[in-house]
Amino acid sequence: MTRLFWARYRSSPHRAVARRSNYDKFPCVRVSADASAVSPGWRAIGERLRGELREGRNVLCVECYPGVFLDEIERALTESLRPALIVHAEDCFQSPDAVRKMLGSVLTDDPVFGRMNGVEIADFFDPAKADAARRSIAVARGTVLAIGTGASLLAREPRVLVYADLARWEIQQRQRSGKIGNLGAKNAGDPASLLYKRAFFVDWRAADRLKMPLISGLDFFLDTNRPGEPKLISGAALAQALRAASERPFRLAPFFDPGPWGGQWMKNVCDLPDGPPNYAWCFDCVPEENSLLFDFGGVRVESPALDLVFQHPRELLGDAVYERFGAEFPIRFDFLDTWEGGNLSLQVHPLAEYIRKHFGIPYTQDESYYLLDAKGDGAVFLGLKEGVDRQAMARDLWAAQRQGKPFPAERYVNRWPAKQHDHFLIPAGTVHCSGRNALVLEISATPYLFTFKLWDWGRMGLDGRPRPVHIEHGLENIQWNRTTGWVHENLINRFEPVAEGDGWREERTGLHPLEFIETRRHWFRSPVPHRTEGSVNVLNLVEGEEIIVESPRESFEPLVVHYAETFVVPACLGEYRIRPRETSAMDECATIKAYVRAT
C-alpha cells in the first residue's frame, strides 16, 4: 500500500476497500541456503531412503498423521524399495463397530461437541492382530515397510523412521471433498462437520500423543500437504528448522475460509482468489490449525505449527505459561470479515467451570473484538439490555429455533456502534456477535469449538443445512447481570495510557480482569522497545504500511511485517524492537499485542 492510499483510506468515514495490499500469504522461516537438504518428489525420496537401507533385513517405518494419503506413499515406496513385506497399521485396528462403541461416551450424540479424553492410538488396535503383525515383522527377511497411523507401535525398532505429516487445514479440505474418513471408521462419506468433530476430539489428540515423543528422534520428516508433491528432509533438518523458529519472531502460514456471513474485505485487501462467494475467517495465528513454512535455499517445506509447540514449548511459550497450559498455545488471533456480509451468529462462550465439567477443557474462550476496520453502520452486539426478562428471551430463542420465527435480537441485546480501532472485551458468559460491515481482529483464548450459538439470523450454512444451535447450553452460561451500564463501563474501549517515549506511546486496552490475556496497543513513528515479560507475545500491525521487528542486540534476523499481518515473538527472546520501515510524519503505525498475564 502506498502512503497516498493510506491518506485516502483514512480520510473518509465510508472508505472503499483497497484493491490489493502487500499482505504475505506465504510467510517463510528461513532455515538455510542449502536446497539439497530437501528431497522433492517421489523419485528423489525413494533414492534417498534406499540409500539408508543395507543388504539383508531392513524395517522402514512410515508413521502417518491421520489424513495422509496412504495409497500414494505406499505406491511410490513400493516402486522404489520393492519391500518383501508390507504391514498396514490400520489392518490391525478393531472393527469400525468396536471403535464406535469405544468412543461413544467421548463423542456423545451432539453434532458439534464431545469431551476431551485420553484415547491413544494403541487403543484402536485389536491386541491379537497387533501381536501377529509384530511377529511377522520380526521374522521377515528383506525390506519390511510398516505404514500408517500407529505403524511405529508395530515396528518398534525400525532401521529408518519416517514421519509423514500434514497441516490440519489440508486435512479439513480432504474431509470436505470426501477423500478421507476418520481413524478406523470407514466413514469418508459422512458430513464434513462430523468428520471434523471426530478428528478434533479423538484422532488428532491421539495422534499428537504418539507424535510428541517421536518427533525428536525421527530419521526423516515427510511433508505430504500437496498430493503428488511430497518433500523429504532429515530429522536433523526438521530439528534445525524448529529451533530456528523458536529463536526469532515469525509468522504462521494463514488460511482463509468462506462462511454464511462472510464479507469482501479480506478478498480485496489480502488479494484472495475470486472463487468463493466470500471469505469469513482468516486464521493467521491459530497454531493448532496453522502451519509453518520453512525455507531451505528457496525450497519450502511445510510443517504443522504444533510441531514447534511440542518441540520447544518453554522457549516459545515461556516457563510460566508452559507450566500453566502445558504444550498448548493459549492465544489465538484471527479475522472475522462481515464487510458487505452479514451478522455473525448471536452467541455466548461457556464459563470456566462449565467447560471443565461438561467438556473436560481446562480453560474457556474469553475473547475480544478489535475493529481493524468498519463502515459507517458497523456495529457489535454485546451484553443484554437493562431489565431483560430472561424467561421471555428464552421463549423467543426457542420459538426461533423450533418454529422459525425471527428472534428480536435488539429487544434483548445491546447494539453498539463500532468504528475503526474500537476494542470490545468479551469475557465468557457475555452474549455477543459482530454485526455486518466490519473487519474484526478476534483476540481470544483457544478452546476452538466451544461457542454456543443462540440464533443464526434464520439462515442456512454454506452446505444448505441449518447450522447447529445450542440454546440449552447457552442459557446455562449467560451472565444476566452484564447489561447496558455494566458493559459500557467495563467492556468497551478500556484504553489506559501506561507508557510513552520518543515518538511512541503505549496503551493498555484490556482484556477484562476475568480473562488471562493482557493486550497493549502502541502508536509510533519511531522505534518502540518491547519485552516479552516471560510470555509468548502475539501482535498484529493494525495501522501503518510496514514495520521491522528486530533485536537490539542483533541476535535474530529482522522480520518485515505488513499491514494486518499477525506475528509471534517467542518468550525466550526477552527484548525486541519494532520500528516503521520508513519513518513518515504522515503515517503513524500501531500494533496490538497480546500475552498471558502473570498469575
In a domain, 489, yes or no: no
pTM metric for this prediction: 0.94
Secondary structure class of 423 (helix, strand, coil): strand
Phi then psi for 60, rounded to 5 degrees? -105, 115
* pLDDT tens profile 16-68: 454 466 999 999 999 999 999 999 999 999 999 999 998 889 999 999 999 99
Indicate whether 379 and 519 sit together in one domain.
no
Do the Cβ atoms of 443 and 332 come closer than 8 Å? yes
Longest dimension (CA), the chain: 81
Q: How far is CA 178 from CA 64, 117, 121, 142, 193, in A?
A: 19, 26, 23, 37, 11
Whether the Cβ atoms of residue 436 and residue 324 lie closer than 8 Å to each other = no
Q: Are residues 85 and 110 in the same domain?
A: yes
Task: Report which of 433, 430, 387 is spatially closest to residue 407, judged by C-alpha positions.
Answer: 433
Both 428 and 467 in one domain: the answer is yes
The total domain count for the chain is 3
| Residue 131 belongs to domain with CATH number | 3.40.50.300
pLDDT-derived band of residue 502, with 50, 70 and 90 as boundaries? very high
Q: Report, in this order, helix, strand and coil percent for the chain, each rounded to 5.
A: 30, 30, 40
- Tell me if 488 is assigned to some domain: no
Same domain for 260 and 111: no
Amino acid at 145: L
Instruction: Indicate whether 15 pLDDT > 80.
Output: no
pLDDT, position 361: 87
Q: In a 3-state reduction of DSSP, which class is residue 435? A: coil
Q: Which domain holds residue 568?
A: 3-23+495-596
- What pLDDT digit, counting tens, does each position of 330-343 carry? 999 999 999 999 99
Instruction: Identify the band that residue 513 occupies on the pLDDT scale cut at 50, 70 and 90.
Output: confident
pLDDT, residue 447, reads 67
What is the grid cell recorded at 349? 462462550
pLDDT classification of 183: cutoffs 50, 70, 90? very high
- Claim to verify: residue 8 and residue 103 sit in the same structural domain: no
- 352 occurs within a structural domain: yes
Residue pair 62/88 in contact (Cβ under 8 Å)? The answer is no
Same domain (yes/no): 147, 73: yes
Element (DSSP H or E) covering residue 44: helix 42-50
Q: Is residue 318 part of a domain?
A: yes
Q: How many CA atoms lie within 13 A of 335 on its CB side?
A: 32
- Which domain-ending residue is among 461, 483, 505? 483
Region 213-221 average pLDDT: 96
Q: Is 248 inside a domain boundary?
A: no
Shared-domain flag, residues 421 and 560: no
Is the predicted pLDDT of residue 7 greater than 60, yes or no?
no
- Of 243, 276, 304, the residue at which a domain comes to its end is 243
Residues 225 and 261 in one domain: no
Are residues 420 and 287 part of one domain?
Answer: yes
Same domain, 121 and 233: yes
pLDDT bin (cut points 50, 70, 90) of residue 14 is very low
The residue from 460, 483, 506 where one domain ends is 483
Query: Which is nearest to 444 in space by CA: 290, 599, 331, 598?
Result: 331
Q: What is the pLDDT of residues 446-455, one digit of tens each?
A: 866 789 999 9
Region for 467 from its dihedrals, namely left if φ exceeds 0, alpha if ψ lies in -120 to 50, beta otherwise = beta
Residue 327 has pLDDT above 90, yes or no: yes
Residues 230 and 310 in one domain: no
The predicted pLDDT at position 2 comes to 29
Mean pLDDT, residues 498-505: 96
Residue 249: inside a domain: no
Cβ(258)–Cβ(278) below 8 Å: yes
Please state, in angstroms and as integers, the Cα–Cα distance from residue 41 to each residue in 5, 77, 280, following that order. 43, 11, 34
Q: How far, CA to CA in Å, does 21 sit from each of 267, 272, 596?
A: 10, 10, 31
Give pLDDT tens digits for 522-554: 999 999 999 999 999 999 999 999 999 999 999
DSSP state of 351: P
Asked if residue 86 and residue 115 are part of one domain, the reply reads yes
Does any domain span residue 72?
A: yes
User: Domain containing 7 — which CATH number?
Assistant: 2.60.120.10
What are the backbone angles phi and psi of residue 311, rounded to the nearest 5°? -85, -35
How many CB atoms are located within 10 Å of the residue 35 CB?
A: 12
Q: For residue 367, give the amino acid letter.
A: E
Per-residue confidence band for 583, with pLDDT thresholds at 50, 70 and 90: low
What pLDDT is attached to residue 598?
87
Quick one: which H or E segment has residue 120? none
Give a yes or no: residue 499 inside a domain: yes
